[in-house]
Amino acid sequence: MSHGVAWQIGGTAGEGLETAGELFAQALASAGQQPTTGRDFPSRIRGGDTTYTVRLTPGGHLAPAAFTDIALAFNATVLPRMAARLAPDGLLLTDDGIEGGTPFPFTQLAADAGDKRSKNMVALGASAALLRAPTEPLRRLIVQRFQAKGEDVAQRNVDAFEAGHALATERFGPRHQLPDARTDRAHFLSGNQAFSLGALDAGCRTAAAYPITPASDILEFLTPRLASIGGTAVQMEDEMAALGVCIGAGFAGQRAVTATSGPGLSLMSEMIGLAEATETPVVIADCQRPGPSTGMPTKHGQEDVLAMCHGGHGEAVRIVLAPTDATDAHRTAVQAFDLADRFHCPVLVALDQQLSLMKQTVGALDARPAPHAPRPSGPATDAWSGSFAPYGDSGAAPEAKGRPGEPAGMHLANSTEHGPNGLTTEDPAVRTAMVQRRLDRLAAIPAATTDAVVVEGDGATALLSFGSTVGACREAAERNDGLRTVAVRLLHPFPTDAVDAALDGVDRVIIVEANATGQFETLLRANLPIHDRIVSVRRFDGNPITSDEILEAA
């Protein structure tokens, strides 16, 4: 059984598949639908088979479809994988000369319209006919897209669209009804884009990163925007340097962000410890992908949970937040900077490939940041003279520190164990007190984190998950009344009380995550006595989990 409607276009990378998919999704979004997108693409620049999927479901949750209803294939090699996903009553259109589907002359109609490269627009026209999608937004978006290349190019593409629409109407007629859901969600964007917007809204003014899939577009997004407002974006020589720049900026009182993926996170682990030891606020996005090592750079996975929460040596204060969708990625970015400033520590934001790259409709992006951390004021004080103890607080509420240029609160941020004045010490009593102080801070964080856990529904079976996998859980709950969804947005320090409360009255806990060893489940088992109630749903083939897989376990 398929849920909602799923549409897919596939062929060779470079055939305009993403253009067609994006335009289709944007047009549907502008008509009040809540499309979500899915991309399956290889780690190479040109060539290779790729697909772009657009789903329409009542809730608009980010999750892939188990089955495709309408598929359009441009080449023979991508066909088997598209056919394997086709719903029993689905329609698979194949370009002329490709065996295995219902033939449709994409290339020929495009050539007749003036340029065979416009076959993606033919496909869009045919798709609009099959789904009875409003054509006006599509025409408008096609013109917008191509008018920079000349009126004639735009017209040729519109002509190709009309030709595809006319022939599909004639041959097949409308095959599907769009979901009724009408939404006021006014934006269409990816999690990486939403996170970046959130960083800007939070007052982040420094970004530094090293290119890595699927995180690269965060720096690319921020660079021109920061440049336009007097901020700084810099591509560094490696991930250690990227985080180093952000830590330096954080020490100087500026909100700073870096973004990376698994391999970069591994390289950053020592620098994360530096930010912890020196109590420097900084925000790090980890756009997870499958590992170990290079793994599968363009595929999906949630395999960095334990590395994010515990990676690196020693024990100190860090926060790991996990947004569930694009709207939440925006809010979480703002929350991450606020928490970093409030608790003087690094905050990691766990994104994943699906959340980072796939687009969806988003409502109001109205999260507003809290003010920056306060500074000491008054006459000159400094840590060496004993007039200022930057680390002399009790832990739960860090002492306000001076910033370079400010006479009050001058101090040393010290990676070496230090006493309340920040100066190096190996005194056992002081060391013990400083460790306890950091643990006290950790303990204060869950209660101070808004929406550390988000519960929807009250069924006795709970779908417990984090990150973009929550989308599939919410979709499963939309399809089956007896389910409760529990999204854990704070992975570290673990919000034990909130999760415990969320599981009140639950007799089965289905833990859903995109890794093989149950890293998220490990956090739960370590903190809650639920061992006898757990069912595990795990997927680690590089693709996100579907609501169908979850419903099978439920």
Partner 1 sequence: MTERTWKDLQGKDPIWCPGCGDFAVLRAMQNAVVAEGLAPHDVVTVTGIGCSGTLTSSMRTYGYHAVHGRSLPVATGIKLASPDSTVLVAGGDGDGYGIGLGHFMHAARRNVDLCYVVMDNQVYGLTKGQTSPTTDPEMTTKASPLGPMANPVNPLELAMAAGASFIAQGFSGQAKQLTELVRAGIRHPGFAVINIQSPCVTYNHLNTYEWFREHVEDVTHDPADEAAAWAVVHDRSKVPTGIIRQVERPVFGGRARPDDSDGKDWAKPFEVRA
- Residues making contact with partner 1 (CB under 8 A): 26, 29-30, 137, 140, 186-189, 193, 197, 200-201, 203, 205-206, 208, 225, 228-232, 234, 236-238, 240-254, 256, 270-271, 273-274, 278, 361-362, 365, 380, 382, 384, 402-407, 410-416, 423-424
Task: Give 225 or 525: the residue with its C-beta nearer to partner 1.
Answer: 225
In the complex, minimum distance from the CB of residue 269 to partner 1, in angstroms, rounded to a whole number: 11
In the complex, minimum distance from the CB of residue 335 to partner 1, in angstroms, rounded to a whole number: 17
500 Cβ contact list (under 8 Å, min separation 6) = 528
Q: What is the dihedral of CA 477, 480, 484, 487, to 10 degrees?
A: -20
Task: Give 21 or 402: the residue with its C-beta nearer to partner 1.
Answer: 402
Pairing mode of beta strands 5-12, 49-56: antiparallel
In the complex, minimum distance from the CB of residue 116 to partner 1, in angstroms, rounded to a whole number: 30
Find, among 260, 242, 262, 265, the residue nearest to 312 by Cα: 265
93 Cβ contact list (under 8 Å, min separation 6) = 70, 71, 72, 73, 101, 102, 103, 104, 106, 123, 126
- 508-537 burial, b at 16+ Cβ within 10 Å, e below that, comes to bbbbbbbbeebbbbebbeeebebeebbeeb
In the complex, minimum distance from the CB of residue 414 to partner 1, in angstroms, rounded to a whole number: 5
Task: Give 30 or 527: the residue with its C-beta nearer to partner 1.
Answer: 30
Task: Give 222 or 502: the residue with its C-beta nearer to partner 1.
Answer: 222
In the complex, minimum distance from the CB of residue 204 to partner 1, in angstroms, rounded to a whole number: 10
In the complex, minimum distance from the CB of residue 21 to partner 1, in angstroms, rounded to a whole number: 14
- Are 328 and 296 in contact, with CB atoms under 8 Å apart? no
- Are 69 and 60 in contact, with CB atoms under 8 Å apart? no
Task: Give 254 or 288: the residue with its C-beta nearer to partner 1.
Answer: 254
For residue 98, report the phi and psi dihedrals to the nearest 5 degrees: -110, 120
Task: Give 99 or 237: the residue with its C-beta nearer to partner 1.
Answer: 237
Strand partners, 320: 348, 492
In the complex, minimum distance from the CB of residue 136 to partner 1, in angstroms, rounded to a whole number: 8
Task: Give 283 or 488: the residue with its C-beta nearer to partner 1.
Answer: 283
Task: Give 102 or 416: the residue with its C-beta nearer to partner 1.
Answer: 416
Where are any strands of DSSP class E within 123-184? none
Residue 536 CA from chain centroid, whole number: 23
Secondary structure (DSSP) of 327-374: HHHHHHHHHHHHHHHHHTSEEEEEEEHHHHH-EEEE------PPPPPP
386 Cβ contact list (under 8 Å, min separation 6) = 421
In the complex, minimum distance from the CB of residue 159 to partner 1, in angstroms, rounded to a whole number: 22
Task: Give 116 or 140: the residue with its C-beta nearer to partner 1.
Answer: 140
Question: Six-digit token pair at 274?
Answer: 């530096």
167 Cβ contact list (under 8 Å, min separation 6) = 104, 105, 109, 126
Dihedral angle sign, alpha carbons of residues 207, 250, 210, 518: negative
Question: Six-digit token pair at 229?
Answer: 């407002």
In the complex, minimum distance from the CB of residue 30 to partner 1, in angstroms, rounded to a whole number: 4
Task: Give 47 or 407: the residue with its C-beta nearer to partner 1.
Answer: 407
Task: Give 121 or 365: the residue with its C-beta nearer to partner 1.
Answer: 365
In the complex, minimum distance from the CB of residue 211 to partner 1, in angstroms, rounded to a whole number: 15
In the complex, minimum distance from the CB of residue 361 to partner 1, in angstroms, rounded to a whole number: 7
In the complex, minimum distance from the CB of residue 10 to partner 1, in angstroms, rounded to a whole number: 24
- Are 355 and 329 in contact, with CB atoms under 8 Å apart? yes
d(C-alpha 80, C-alpha 82), whole Å: 5
Whether a cis peptide bond, with omega within 30° of 0, leads into 292 is yes
Question: Six-digit token pair at 226?
Answer: 């920061």
DSSP state of 400: P
Task: Give 83 or 423: the residue with its C-beta nearer to partner 1.
Answer: 423
In the complex, minimum distance from the CB of residue 377 to partner 1, in angstroms, rounded to a whole number: 13
Secondary structure (DSSP) of 213-243: TTTHHHHHHHHHHHHTTT-EEEE-SSHHHHH
Where are any strands of DSSP class E within 114-223? 187-190, 206-209
d(C-alpha 248, C-alpha 242), whole Å: 10
Task: Give 87 or 189: the residue with its C-beta nearer to partner 1.
Answer: 189
In the complex, minimum distance from the CB of residue 165 to partner 1, in angstroms, rounded to a whole number: 19
Dihedral angle sign, alpha carbons of residues 412, 418, 424, 430: positive
- Are 34 and 185 in contact, with CB atoms under 8 Å apart? yes
Task: Give 261 or 278: the residue with its C-beta nearer to partner 1.
Answer: 278
